[in-house]
Amino acid sequence: MIGTKPLLICGASVIVIRDGHILLQKRKDNGCWGYHGGCLELGERLEDAAKRELYEETGLKVNSMNLYGVFSGPELHYVYPHGDEVYNVDTVYICEDFEGELSADTAEVSELRWFAFNDVPDNLSPPVSGIIREFISQKLSKDS
């Protein structure tokens, strides 16, 4: 599509957790932290897209994951720094069972880092900030 018309984007994402920590990536496009994911390719299953994106961005392979939720609405509206405007529908999975060595995709990711649930950075990427904060709040209240 050419022009500045907003697009509806279907995404698949993965929140990776381990021992009270969440793995976040610092995005190159906006300098903010977020979880791992991206857009579905034509004909691709959501689960496969989530696994592919996680591997591409982090070098980690999913052994198993569970559906966390499907998120949409005005809070997932975003205008990228290059001007693309999107309304995201994001299917988010939780993964605690993974393997591999961390290796950031240098095209999209400037840094990968584990954060304690109660020490997540303030500069979360706008379209995923609310989802991350909700997830962490649920984990902290469940674990206390």
- 75/73 Cα distance (integer angstroms): 6
Say how far residue 73 (Cα) sits from the centre of its chain.
Answer: 17
Candidates 122, 138, 136, 131; CA nearest to 70 is: 131
Nearest 10 degrees: CA dihedral of 21, 109, 92, 8?
150
- 84/81 Cα distance (integer angstroms): 8
Out of 47, 56, 75, 111, pick the active-site residue. 111
Catalytic, 44? Answer: no
Residue 62, φ and ψ in degrees, nearest 5: -75, 130
**Residues with catalytic roles:** 111
